[in-house]
């Protein structure tokens, strides 16, 4: 690039990615034609990048997420909570049980799955008895059930400062969606929609 083209990156920095602007500044410095404004812009961009890295590290520290290759790979507890509220307490209990199994506590894992199944069965029975299929009510009941599982099992048996690597929820979401399709179809057909 010519000196003028490189200077355009610096002058119109809002049009370009920070990395492109920095590369242009470094090239201008290498050619010994960078001005004082270029150095100021370079410092601003570097400061912005450091602040972004600090925010990322702060989020990781607050959420117990680590890059340590020896740390267990677990589903984030908030993801498990939302997953269980949306799909069912039983589905959420499976994810929580997988976390317990990865932590080496298979006995509790089975107890969590059993508890999730019992809660979901009772929830279906109660909603059927009151004659409603209100999805908002089902979500609230699921959220309540997941909060119970979290307080009875997770918070009492897992240290709050446990460091872990985050496991992606996308596979579980895909499976839950595929499993839910026949049920959604059955509901639509039974209501004549």
Say if residue 62's pLDDT is above 60. Answer: no
**Do residues 7 and 82 both lie within one domain?**
no
**Do residues 171 and 92 both lie within one domain?**
yes
Say if residue 98's pLDDT is above 90. Answer: yes
Please state the domain count of the chain. Answer: 2
In a domain, 186, yes or no: yes
In a domain, 174, yes or no: yes
Domain boundary among 62, 89, 113: 62
Q: Across all residues in the chain, what is the average pLDDT? A: 84
Q: Which of 8-12, 33-37, 38-42, 91-95 has the highest mean pLDDT?
A: 91-95
**Do residues 94 and 186 both lie within one domain?**
yes
In a domain, 146, yes or no: yes
**Do residues 21 and 97 both lie within one domain?**
no
Two structure tokens written together for 46: 């570097």
Which is higher by pLDDT, 187 or 192? 187
**Do residues 26 and 94 both lie within one domain?**
no
Band of pLDDT at residue 61, cut at 50, 70 and 90: low
**Do residues 159 and 109 both lie within one domain?**
yes
Band of pLDDT at residue 191, cut at 50, 70 and 90: low
Say if residue 111's pLDDT is above 90. Answer: yes
In a domain, 68, yes or no: no
In a domain, 32, yes or no: yes
**Do residues 50 and 126 both lie within one domain?**
no
Say if residue 12's pLDDT is above 70. Answer: yes
Domain boundary among 16, 39, 62: 62
**Do residues 50 and 90 both lie within one domain?**
no
Count of beta carbons in the 10 Å neighbourhood of residue 59: 10
Model confidence over 123-156: pLDDT tens digits? Answer: 988 888 887 777 788 889 999 999 999 999 998 9
CA distance 52 to 72: 26
**Do residues 119 and 45 both lie within one domain?**
no
Report how far Cα 9 is from the mean position of its chain's Cα atoms: 35
In a domain, 67, yes or no: no
In a domain, 102, yes or no: yes
In a domain, 132, yes or no: yes
**Do residues 36 and 122 both lie within one domain?**
no
**Do residues 116 and 177 both lie within one domain?**
yes
19, 1 contact by CB (below 8 A):
no
Band of pLDDT at residue 115, cut at 50, 70 and 90: very high
| Residue 132 lies in domain | 73-191
The predicted structure's pLDDT at residue 89: 92
Supply the pTM of this predicted model. 0.62
**Do residues 51 and 123 both lie within one domain?**
no
């Amino acid at each position: 690039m010519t000196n003028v083209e490189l200077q355009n990156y610096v002058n119109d920095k809002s049009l370009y990615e920070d990395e492109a602007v920095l590369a242009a500044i470094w090239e201008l410095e290498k050619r010994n034609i960078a001005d004082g404004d270029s150095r100021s812009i370079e410092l601003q961009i570097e400061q912005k990048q450091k602040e972004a890295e600090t925010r990322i590290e702060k989020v990781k520290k607050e959420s117990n997420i680590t890059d340590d290759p020896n740390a267990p790979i677990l589903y984030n507890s908030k993801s498990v909570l939302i997953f269980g509220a949306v799909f069912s307490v039983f589905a959420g209990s499976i994810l929580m049980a997988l976390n317990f199994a990865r932590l080496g506590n298979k006995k509790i894992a089975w107890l969590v799955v059993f508890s999730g199944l019992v809660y979901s069965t009772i929830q279906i029975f109660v909603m059927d008895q009151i004659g409603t299929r209100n999805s908002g009510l089902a979500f609230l009941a699921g959220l309540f059930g997941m909060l119970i599982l979290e307080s009875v099992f997770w918070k009492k048996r897992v240290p709050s400062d446990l460091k872990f690597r985050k496991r992606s929820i996308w596979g579980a979401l895909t499976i839950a969606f595929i499993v839910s399709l026949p049920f959604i179809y059955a509901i639509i057909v039974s209501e004549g929609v």
